[in-house]
């Protein structure tokens, strides 16, 4: 079997430049998505700024499309090696998860806008903000792990996700007693959907950590597997 030819120094330098540029873009996209999620939490807490959050989704979408285009160009024109291919594949997945996080933020503020005129339960809002704070930390941790190729940090993401899952499961217990007040119950049921959106943001952060582990080890495995739950 003939050996795979090495890239010429010129092509290698050009490829390295493209990969560094993509690394910068994914960090910027992560920061934009994180900021958008943080703003969505502030909006539902303060009942302000809904339209601004929705408008900022265009920025994240632009990053997503630009990264996808550049990755496809590199694959078509630069003849990347195996380790480069792993990075490019992971990059496409990470950008998709960040784009989905932005979509979750839009969903959160759309729901918040619809229920802004309704009475609210302060205890449930405290739980929502606690979930959001943890998820926000998870976004930052997942992106730091990806940027620094930090396997230990990526492996900690599922443990960080556990309290978000627990709070999401428990929030319905605080909403059901609202049944004797239909306006409050309407708010509670919609906020339960917000809780689910936050839980999904945290899941996307775990998915980014999975891609980091794949990038480092060359082996992909799901950190959590819903079809084979642990005891």
Sites in the chain below the pLDDT cut of 50: 1-5, 226-231
Q: What is the reported pLDDT for 222? A: 81
Domains by residue range for the chain, with CATH: 9-217 (1.20.58.220)
Q: What is the pLDDT of residues 10-33, one digit of tens each?
A: 666 888 889 999 999 999 999 999
What per-residue confidence (pLDDT) applies to 81? Answer: 78
State how far the Cα of 74 lies from the Cα of 116, in Å rounded to an integer.
46
Rounded distance, CA 205 to CA 50, Å?
23
- Encode pLDDT of 43-55 as tens digits: 999 999 999 999 9
Alpha-carbon distances, residue 105 vs 128, 149, 151, 198 (angstroms): 13, 27, 28, 8
């Amino acid at each position: 079997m003939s050996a795979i030819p090495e890239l010429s120094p010129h092509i290698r330098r050009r490829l390295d430049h493209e990969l560094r540029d993509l690394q910068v873009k994914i960090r910027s996209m992560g920061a934009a998505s994180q900021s958008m999620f943080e703003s969505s939490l502030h909006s539902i807490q303060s009942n302000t700024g809904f339209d601004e959050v929705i408008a900022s989704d265009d920025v994240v979408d632009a990053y997503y499309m630009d990264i996808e285009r550049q990755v496809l160009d590199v694959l078509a024109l630069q003849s990347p090696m195996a380790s480069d291919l792993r990075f490019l594949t992971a990059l496409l997945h990470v950008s998709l998860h960040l784009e989905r996080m932005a979509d979750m933020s839009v969903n959160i503020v759309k729901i918040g806008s619809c229920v802004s005129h309704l009475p609210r339960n302060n205890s449930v809002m405290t739980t929502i903000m606690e979930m959001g704070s943890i998820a926000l930390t998870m976004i930052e941790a997942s992106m730091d792990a990806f940027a620094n190729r930090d396997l230990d940090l990526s492996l900690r993401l599922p443990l960080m996700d556990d309290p978000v899952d627990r709070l999401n499961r428990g929030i319905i217990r605080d909403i059901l007693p609202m049944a004797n007040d239909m306006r409050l119950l309407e708010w509670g049921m919609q906020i339960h959907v917000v809780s689910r959106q936050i839980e999904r943001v945290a899941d996307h952060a775990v998915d980014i950590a999975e891609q980091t582990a794949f990038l480092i080890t060359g082996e992909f495995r799901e950190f959590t597997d819903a079809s084979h739950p642990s005891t």
